[in-house]
């Protein structure tokens, strides 16, 4: 869906400008997104398989939930909205733990220029996976993986991206900190 999003500068500061997501991706305008990593007390992490119709990384097992922040939308509200939309999990903003903001710059072979600031959260998944409802336009499947999967991305095929290994290790450490 082509939505109106806020444009930020190369440091993540809001510029007061907005653009359609497609325009931001065409010209490489920086914009805010959310990443939410959901984990269980049994040391599992929820990954979603991206829909095969996605423009980047179709079919890849990826972050529990990720999405763009709508223009004017609060970051925490955006995170809870994306969780509800993509997997049907109702969570309050106070259950989300922000672990950082990550500058991300990738030029995709199809011409999409992803210049984003990922606002990264972790939270406990308190609903059984079979009760989650996927948004088929975004998500092909959901699966719980052993938390150690985040440490082994260099040895996996179609599960996360090896070039972001350091990011996944950081997320692993933050989830472990929240499990203790």
Question: Which tens digit of pLDDT belongs to each residue from 45-84?
Answer: 999 999 999 999 999 999 999 999 999 999 999 999 999 9
| Block residue for tokens 């269980």 | 40
Residue 22 makes CB contacts below 8 A (sequence gap 6+) with 2
- The C-alpha atoms of residue 26 and residue 18 are separated, in whole angstroms, by 14
Residue 89 makes CB contacts below 8 A (sequence gap 6+) with 38, 83, 125, 127, 132
Residues (pLDDT < 70) of the chain are: none
Q: What is the pLDDT of residue 13?
A: 97
Q: What is the pLDDT of residue 156?
A: 87
Domain residue spans of the chain: 4-179
Q: What is the pLDDT of residue 2?
A: 87
Q: What is the pLDDT of residue 171?
A: 98
Asked if residues 34 and 75 have their Cβ atoms less than 8 Å apart, the reply is yes
CATH topology of domain 4-179: Nucleoside Triphosphate Pyrophosphohydrolase (3.90.79)
- The C-alpha atoms of residue 105 and residue 31 are separated, in whole angstroms, by 11
Among 154, 155, 144, 119, which Cα is nearest to 35's?
119
pTM of the model: 0.96
Q: What is the pLDDT of residue 157?
A: 87
């Amino acid at each position: 869906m082509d939505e109106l999003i806020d444009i930020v500068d190369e440091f993540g500061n809001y510029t007061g400008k907005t653009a359609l997501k497609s325009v931001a991706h065409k010209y490489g305008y920086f914009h805010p997104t959310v990443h939410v990593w959901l984990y269980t007390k049994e040391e599992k992490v929820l990954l979603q398989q991206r829909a095969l119709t996605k423009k980047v990384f179709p079919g890849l097992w990826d972050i529990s939930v990720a999405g763009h922040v709508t223009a004017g939308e609060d970051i925490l509200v955006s995170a809870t909205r994306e969780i509800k939309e993509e997997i049907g999990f109702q969570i309050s903003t106070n259950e989300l733990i922000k672990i950082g903001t990550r500058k991300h710059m990738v030029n995709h072979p199809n011409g999409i220029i992803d210049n984003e600031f990922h606002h990264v959260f972790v939270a406990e998944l308190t609903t059984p996976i079979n009760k989650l409802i996927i948004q088929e336009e975004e998500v092909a499947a959901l699966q719980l993986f052993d938390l150690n999967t985040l440490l082994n991305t260099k040895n996996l095929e179609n599960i996360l991206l090896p070039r972001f290994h350091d990011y996944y290790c950081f997320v692993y450490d933050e989830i472990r900190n929240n499990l203790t």
